[in-house]
Chains A and B, each alone.
Chain A
Amino acid sequence: MRKLNYFRSFFLAATLAITSLGFTSCDDDNDGPTGAYAEEGVFVVNEGNFQTPNGSVSYYNTNTKEVQNNIFGRSNNNRPLGDVVQSMVIHGDRAFIVVNNSNKIEVVNAGTFASVGVVEGLALPRYFVALNNDKGYVTEYVNFGIGRVSVIDLNTYTVTKTIPVGKLPEQIALAGGKLYVTNSGDNTVSVINTATDAVETSITVADAPNSLAIDRNNVLWVLSSGNKSYDPYPEVDEANSTAASLTKINTSNNTVTGTITFPEVAASAGKLVMNGNRDKLYFIYNGGVHQLGITASTVNSSPLINRSFYGLGVDPETSYIYGGDDNGFDGDGTVYVYNPDGTQISTFKAGIAPNGFLFN
């Protein structure tokens, strides 16, 4: 998009801390969706252009290989989804789509994508998670300073409580009745007790945690990008920078049990996701897609896929790897699909800036 250059820089500023994904499709409920989008498939979250409500969701049917773009608009009288579609979560028969710069969460029927409600009046919401059918949580940047987690009543779609956390809260995950919040502007993970909806403790991790995942042993993995100091930009001043790292947290007592520090201090990392068996981690680091077993103690210097993506996902059944290319935000993005060994299988066109995937 040919915006004015300085808009680009605002965009840059606004998204410096953005990393995406790690959809924790966390429900084992039986009230699953039915409808056109209830089959085996992949939802692609297309962020759209900053300051334009042209974010969208695409649906890729993994059996027929057919793509349907803009499924929200199709099911809702061509209504645009909103400005910067940040993330999406399915819980039960509902999908919750967090629309960052429209300050809302659109709620749709997960099978038909017909609108069932909207949570409005949020302040730069980022990531959502549902505790059950009645209560959910969303992180919000608020004003790029101290962020918060808002508690959402999933029957009335209203905010019932706000909980201040650290700076620039990003991804969240539930484990053992606790909500873990990555504060990407700090070096902490806030822990919220879902029974009291209050911050119980804060765990210190490496600088700038942005994404997290819980493995099969209920170990919480937190990926931190590290703080980068430039002299001059984009040359990283390594002496005053910190490396990206993975922090392992025991969720039964909220203590750090290990840290894997990445070798290249200058390189950032983000977009941590996990496979279906929850024994392999995938993330973007140093311009490539990396894979790491949960028993590993160091990061392989050569990537599994030697290119970076704007969005990353791993199919829990097939372990196929999905990467979203942003196409410079000028046109529709392309999704690349890879075998678990990193060889490319296919591509398909999605919407503008595919930033994440959700597997049905």
Chain B
Amino acid sequence: MAAAQQDTTQHQLRTVQVFGKPAEVYAAGSRVVQVDSAYLSTYSSGTLAEALQARTPIYFKSYGASGTSTVAFRGTNASQTAVLWNGLNIAPATLGQSDFSTLPLSGIGEVAVQHGAAAATYGSGAIGGAVLLNSAKYKTARLSGDVKLEAGSFGRYFGSGSAGYSTKKFSFGVSAYGQLAKNDFKYKDLTRFGTPEVRQDNAQVEQHGFTKDLSWQISPQTQLAVHGWYTFSDRELQPAMGSAYADARQRDESLRLMAELQHQSRFGQTDIKLAYFNEYLHYTDLSNDSKSEVDTYQLQAEQTFTRGERWSLRGGLNMQHFVADNDGYAAQQDENRASLFALFRYNPVQPLQLSLNLRQALVEGFNPPPTPALGFNWKFFNSNQHQVSLKGNASGSYRVPTLNDRFWAGTGNPDLKPEQGWSYELGLRHVLVQGNTFLLETEATAYHMLVDDWIQWSPGNTGAWRPVNLQKVESKGIELSTTATSTLREVKLSSTAGYTYTSSEQVEVYEGNGDEGKQLMYVPRHKAILSAEANYRNWRLLGNLNYTGLRYTSNSETNNLDSFILLNLALSRKLQLGQHSLLLTLRSDNMTNAAYQTMAYRAMPPRGYTFSLRFIIP
């Protein structure tokens, strides 16, 4: 039973299971990995950046403890990983990228990562991969809830609460969180004579927000869901060591609302999603005061036809309307974008699954070519204990220029082309099941990707910064992972080891000299993770080891940040209080007290401790 649930290849084509998660059905041959729920609940006070840095091969550049965190997935840049919330892209169209340090785990139900190009399914920006977030589901009959209070080193306090209520037809849940972190840790200032130990100033963060989720089974065929997500973050932007602090602060506010309607009829399943997102960003320092606000209206309509268990076809339309106000623009800018897509899945014989996806995006003046993706999963060996699958895909991807790329006063470049990617991957997957006590899943994937017309801001010959189609980048790599789950009497153990090798370099440079043939900056060639969870009666131990290899700090391979190892441990004890329970957790982050940076000279916290209390109803 456990094996069947965890083996995605065993997912059947029942449409119920694809709600909000087309990845696993229409993306045969790609790798989708879920961040486990034990981790998410233990580290729920953290951000998505911290979770993915610890648990996935994705590398995050964090501008210190309080600054922005941007992503590098399979050797691509921050704009080339799509972030979807309940199936819709949430990156603000102005900047075209998500700051993962403003995306809290609190209130989020599921976090999954799709490796590799997935733009045919998710649209613009899913070049290196996609991060899939889904709202929490409140399924417990009647009232449920929890309250969590946390205090940690360096002046960090966190509190959250949630409440859910559900009946057969109706479920409703709310959650809220708040956090204050001073981040006044000590670090060695490498830029001063004698590297004196100093206390970090100007890195305070205040965050709060809430989620609201409602679902209503109107009839046996029709379901309506409404989701709301608000996040607020006000922070001092931590300067680099030895850099002047210019009183830099940033306030981010995001409101995301969506309604989704699902209806089953004899024509198949109809899904309609309607969303409104508002993103506000206000940056100030001694010499700047810049505001940016963008409203996004989004409609996605999909129709799914399924015949037996052999084939399934989903056709859809996505429409976006942006209204952006930015101090850098000459005036308010509106823009419409649309895309049409068709996702097809066919199982000619039981062990073979094929998928073909096609997407055509329509953007004024920036129409990218049609984006296809073709994948297969072939379970060529299947015995009682062993399953071996070969899988692979060839996918196109694209990213249209951001509103900043287009409308920044004077520098918006009308000749900009959309980015285009091509990727191929091939993988082997092995699953070993021994009764109910042992499960071993191992996967190896190799990929090759070309991203052309990569957009980047560059000073050019005149010194005026503007976006250009700067380069063509080749990224290739290997991803290995193995997960073992075993039960020995009262002890339940599970462990995951993963390793990735990433090579990402310029193969052509369209402007200036460039640094062809060298590893792109801030892309580690090697990253490895080892996580383990042990459960014994009411105790749980969660450990995370993360090795991040050397990263160059420019494209010339002349300066680098040293590799580092981070160890995080969390020990929990559950106390039963009648029907309710109390969870006590003691956590240590960076246990070995490693001095490390993910972005040059931005100090990161040393060893710290956190204690948390969580009261769970029922």
Contact = CB atoms under 8 A, between A and B. Distances in A.
Interface residues of A, number: 53
A346 to B, nearest CB: 15
Contacts of A332: 515, 554, 556, 558
A328 B558 contact: no
Nearest to B467: A5
Interface in B530-582: 553-556, 558-559
Interface of B: 68, 70, 77-78, 95, 97, 190-193, 195, 239-244, 283, 285-288, 290, 292, 328, 330, 402, 404-405, 408-411, 456-459, 461-465, 467, 470, 511-515, 518, 521-522, 553-556, 558-559, 600-601
A286 to B, nearest CB: 10
B287 A13 contact: yes
Given A102-B242, A331-B515, A4 B408 contact: no
A195 interface: no
Interface stretch (A25-33, A50-58, A252-260, A313-321): A50-58
A9 B410 contact: no
A124 B286 CA distance: 12
Interface stretch (A79-87, A184-192, A272-280, A293-301): A79-87
Contacts of A326: 459
Contact of B287 (A5, A83, A143): A143
Given A53-B191, A82-B242, A5 B457 contact: yes
Q: Which of B191, B458, B521, B522: most chain A CB closer than 10 A?
A: B191
Contacts of A175: none
A118 B408 CA distance: 40
Interface string A63-86: 000000110000010011011000
A152 B200 CA distance: 29
18 contacts: A5-B95, A5-B405, A9-B328, A11-B465, A12-B465, A51-B243, A79-B191, A79-B195, A80-B190, A82-B191, A144-B286, A144-B287, A233-B411, A308-B462, A327-B513, A331-B514, A331-B515, A334-B513
Contact of A327 (B78, B190, B408, B514): B514
B411 A234 contact: yes
Interface in A320-351: 325-332, 334, 349, 351
Q: Which of B195, B283, B287: most chain A CB closer than 10 A?
A: B287
A52 B67 CA distance: 14
A2 B77 contact: yes
B509 to A, nearest CB: 9
Interface string A5-24: 11011111110000000000
Q: Which of B77, B330, B405, B461: most chain A CB closer than 10 A?
A: B461
Given A328-B512, A331-B556, 4 more contacts: A1-B554, A5-B404, A83-B242, A330-B521
**A contact patch SS:** loop
B77 to A, nearest CB: 5
Contact of A328 (B193, B195, B292, B459): B459
Contacts of B512: 325, 327-328
Nearest to A77: B195
A115 interface: yes
B286 A143 contact: yes
Contacts of A69: 558
Interface string A82-112: 1100000000000000000111000000000
B224 to A, nearest CB: 38
A287 B464 CA distance: 12
A143 to B, nearest CB: 6
B99 to A, nearest CB: 8
B125 to A, nearest CB: 15
A69 B557 CA distance: 13
B190 A79 contact: yes
A28 B175 CA distance: 73
Q: Which of A103, A327, A331, A349: most chain B CB closer than 10 A?
A: A331
A325 B284 CA distance: 31
A83 B244 CA distance: 8
Contacts of B95: 4-6
A80 B410 contact: no
Contacts of B456: 2, 328, 330
